[in-house]
Chains A and B, each alone.
Chain A
């Protein structure tokens, strides 16, 4: 762990020294493609469809950014990353941004030198067990084996939580969500622990989801969001405000399809966002219609949520904490002015 951080830090120094020249925005425009890191696959969050296109809650952010910056939501090069490789991949400049169920933490922000553009999913760590195990609380898990993804906050939370509660366990370290799922199904571990959203996604793929329960304990805060490297504030702003625009549009009930129509409507904030008032796009280094295009890519935040992971889908997640602040949730984008 320590070594990894050192390597990343070393890399950042070397990279930072040489990258001061060109901005990420210019690089992306020159390359004509947005290089986006995603996960190796979590149902609903990132997957390939039958035509070989990446889709899901996380790629949707990449697509919105690509639409805003390059004018085409399909101009994205995806790099699947594991919990362990994601930060090195981002730090080395192999990708321009990372959108992969990644928790915003102090050390990732400060020590690894990344800038989190915001939160697109408020999550927390949970436990998935077969009902046949007969436990109803995580504190009953004494002596169990636990499938856990390496290089994640999950790994660290679990150790702390079980130590505090005097629960002994045997970790089964695993690289990717798919392998964890397969191992759990094969009985290699009694418990699978990760972000609750990921657990729900995994459970939805089981032949008999009802034979598995997610325990009531949520043992951590996991604000997940897209991130970029330190040192290019303009680029961070672009990703941050693309995300914010998706969230504000959801708050105001403006769908992606309506974006064009309401652009000259009575709501001044929407006018500013959609480019009919002021020159906010230019301040970001983008054109006037950047936000319209971002919204057109996959719709607003609520539409993306509903399309990939919402209650209508097999993943079946409720908005919960991720409802707008006006609806009892904590999703709250700063004002656009």
Chain B
């Protein structure tokens, strides 16, 4: 019965062995994520194949063999077989400013810079004087209007000369800023107890949603003229801005109404119990919650609106695509449509991606209570 018969007694936990080699490090990661099952493996190989077949030649065309020099397509092609970016380079000014007079372009730049300042309080919560910056944001449209069209001391610039990215941003931003308040009012009106107001709102919203934007733009460009006495031509761009704003307001209204409906009745009742009036309860209790819910939908509409601005080229305003189309007809450069469309696509992607990121940031920031 002696204890000594036991050959080995562990005195503590033995050191953990390293995991098997093929589950760690690069190899492990690859196995885990790319080749976990045979199906994953097949997908991975297929994706790799696609990358090689599609991406590599594209990169080759866009960057490696691309040419950045030359004054015409022929000269450009002589330098490199790939994309000819010299064309975009030569016409960059047109893509950005349209036909805005050369000497006055600083005004567009300034307006752009001032626009960036209005965005500051939206993105950074903690900037000093945030309230003043918001106030400035409200004034901005008037400032921009003055800067871009001129008057007083500045020479006047015909809106006919607006074009390119500047026009897109102008139409986009105007539509976005004015349609939001209008849309909210429409949504409230639609839910109003006052029958006249709600019927009007319903009629308006349903009309807007029933008609394609292109039709409205067409009405703005041609039909409206019939109703005014000749000679009193009121600016085509202004007509377009109004139509775009009304159009997107109709959609915003429905999104906001969705948000409003998600707020339980108790909230309204509690507000009533506190003795808050209609506007107080709406602005302090209901809207802050409803808008928070509606943010993804609203931003969605904004992104759509931004891209829809390209439709203005059908009624003779030159958005970046219209500028490209006209430039592509210059026989010196003709035929480089891929470059133009890629460039315009990149611009829209950057803008829309930024907007969607901002909306995600907002959602996260405002995600105070429950998550839906």
B221's nearest neighbour on chain A, judged by CB, is A94
B264 on the interface (CB 8 Å rule)?
Answer: no
Cross-chain contact B223 with A85 (CB below 8 angstroms): no
B315 on the interface (CB 8 Å rule)?
Answer: yes
Q: Chain B residues near A165: list those with CB within 8 A.
A: none
A145 on the interface (CB 8 Å rule)?
Answer: no
Contact with B along A14-52 (1 / 0, CB 8 A): 110011011000010010010001001111111111101
Q: Chain A residues near B99: list those with CB within 8 A.
A: 52
Interface residues of B in 308-323 (CB under 8 A from A): 313-316, 318, 322-323
Contact with A along B93-124 (1 / 0, CB 8 A): 11000110000000000000000000000000
Cross-chain contact B316 with A80 (CB below 8 angstroms): yes
A205's nearest neighbour on chain B, judged by CB, is B334
Q: Tell me which of A7, A19, A52, A315 contacts B230 (CB under 8 A).
A: A19
Q: Chain A residues near B322: list those with CB within 8 A.
A: 40, 80
- Tell me, in angstroms, the Cα distance from A204 to B329 when the chains sit together: 11
Could you tell me how many residues of chain A have their Cβ less than 8 Å away from some Cβ of chain B? 53
Residue with the highest number of chain A CB atoms closer than 10 Å, among B77, B94, B218, B329: B329
Distance (whole angstroms) from the CB of B61 to the closest CB of chain A: 14
Cross-chain contact B91 with A207 (CB below 8 angstroms): no
Distance (whole angstroms) from the CB of B342 to the closest CB of chain A: 13
Cross-chain contact A94 with B325 (CB below 8 angstroms): no
Distance (whole angstroms) from the CB of A208 to the closest CB of chain B: 10
Q: Chain A residues near B323: list those with CB within 8 A.
A: 48
Cross-chain contact B230 with A85 (CB below 8 angstroms): no
Cross-chain contact B337 with A43 (CB below 8 angstroms): no
Q: Tell me which of A92, A176, A177 contacts B225 (CB under 8 A).
A: A92
B341's nearest neighbour on chain A, judged by CB, is A182
B127 on the interface (CB 8 Å rule)?
Answer: no
Q: Chain B residues near A178: list those with CB within 8 A.
A: 325, 328-329, 337
Cross-chain contact A43 with B221 (CB below 8 angstroms): no
Contact with A along B73-104 (1 / 0, CB 8 A): 00001000000000000110110001100000
A40's nearest neighbour on chain B, judged by CB, is B325
Could you tell me how many residues of chain B have their Cβ less than 8 Å away from some Cβ of chain A? 38
Contact with B along A203-244 (1 / 0, CB 8 A): 011110000000000000000000000000000000000000
Known: A41-B326, A47-B329. A27 touches B231 (CB 8 A): yes
Contact with A along B152-173 (1 / 0, CB 8 A): 0000001010000000000000
Q: Tell me which of B93, B314, B326 contacts A47 (CB under 8 A).
A: B326
B335's nearest neighbour on chain A, judged by CB, is A205
B290 on the interface (CB 8 Å rule)?
Answer: no
Cross-chain contact A15 with B226 (CB below 8 angstroms): yes
Distance (whole angstroms) from the CB of B101 to the closest CB of chain A: 9
Cross-chain contact B335 with A41 (CB below 8 angstroms): no
- Tell me, in angstroms, the Cα distance from A93 to B227 when the chains sit together: 12
Distance (whole angstroms) from the CB of A180 to the closest CB of chain B: 11
Q: Tell me which of A18, A43, A94 contacts B334 (CB under 8 A).
A: A43
Q: Chain B residues near A52: list those with CB within 8 A.
A: 93-94, 98-99
Cross-chain contact B222 with A88 (CB below 8 angstroms): yes
A116 on the interface (CB 8 Å rule)?
Answer: no
A260 on the interface (CB 8 Å rule)?
Answer: no
B275 on the interface (CB 8 Å rule)?
Answer: no
Cross-chain contact A43 with B331 (CB below 8 angstroms): yes
- Tell me, in angstroms, the Cα distance from A56 to B222 when the chains sit together: 26
Cross-chain contact B329 with A54 (CB below 8 angstroms): no
A118 on the interface (CB 8 Å rule)?
Answer: no
Q: Tell me which of A33, A54, A185 contacts B326 (CB under 8 A).
A: A54
Q: Tell me which of A7, A47, A92 contacts B330 (CB under 8 A).
A: A47
A315's nearest neighbour on chain B, judged by CB, is B331
A313 on the interface (CB 8 Å rule)?
Answer: yes
- Tell me, in angstroms, the Cα distance from A40 to B77 when the chains sit together: 26
Q: Chain A residues near B221: list those with CB within 8 A.
A: 85, 89, 92, 94
Interface residues of A in 66-120 (CB under 8 A from B): 77, 79-82, 85, 88-89, 91-94
A316's nearest neighbour on chain B, judged by CB, is B331
Q: Chain A residues near B337: list those with CB within 8 A.
A: 178, 181-182, 185
Cross-chain contact B329 with A46 (CB below 8 angstroms): yes
Known: A41-B329, A42-B329, A47-B327. A22 touches B231 (CB 8 A): yes
A281 on the interface (CB 8 Å rule)?
Answer: no
A54's nearest neighbour on chain B, judged by CB, is B326
Q: Tell me which of B90, B225, B230, B329 contacts A22 (CB under 8 A).
A: B230
Cross-chain contact B222 with A21 (CB below 8 angstroms): no
Cross-chain contact B231 with A89 (CB below 8 angstroms): no
A314 on the interface (CB 8 Å rule)?
Answer: yes
Cross-chain contact A48 with B330 (CB below 8 angstroms): yes
- Tell me, in angstroms, the Cα distance from A237 to B231 when the chains sit together: 21
B236 on the interface (CB 8 Å rule)?
Answer: yes
Q: Chain A residues near B335: list those with CB within 8 A.
A: 205-207
A11 on the interface (CB 8 Å rule)?
Answer: yes
Distance (whole angstroms) from the CB of B297 to the closest CB of chain A: 31
Known: A40-B322, A50-B91, A85-B314. A94 touches B225 (CB 8 A): yes
Q: Chain B residues near A176: list those with CB within 8 A.
A: 325
Distance (whole angstroms) from the CB of A144 to the closest CB of chain B: 23
Known: A21-B230, A92-B226, A178-B337. A43 touches B330 (CB 8 A): yes
Contact with A along B219-244 (1 / 0, CB 8 A): 00111011101110100100000000
Cross-chain contact B331 with A205 (CB below 8 angstroms): yes
Cross-chain contact A314 with B314 (CB below 8 angstroms): no
Cross-chain contact B158 with A77 (CB below 8 angstroms): yes
A-B contact sample (10 more), CB < 8 A, given A7-B223, A177-B329: A15-B226, A22-B231, A30-B231, A40-B313, A47-B327, A50-B330, A79-B316, A80-B313, A94-B316, A178-B329
User: Can you show 5 pairs from A to B with CB atoms below 8 A apart?
Assistant: A48-B330, A77-B158, A80-B326, A89-B222, A207-B77
- Nearest first, the 10 A-B pairs at minimum CB distance are A41-B329, A205-B334, A47-B329, A92-B222, A79-B316, A205-B335, A48-B326, A14-B226, A92-B225, A47-B330
Interface of B with A (CB < 8 Å)? 77, 90-91, 93-94, 98-99, 158, 160, 218, 221-223, 225-227, 229-231, 233, 236, 313-316, 318, 322-323, 325-331, 334-335, 337
Interface of A with B (CB < 8 Å)? 7, 11, 14-15, 18-19, 21-22, 27, 30, 33, 37, 40-50, 52, 54, 56, 77, 79-82, 85, 88-89, 91-94, 175-178, 181-182, 185, 201, 204-207, 313-315
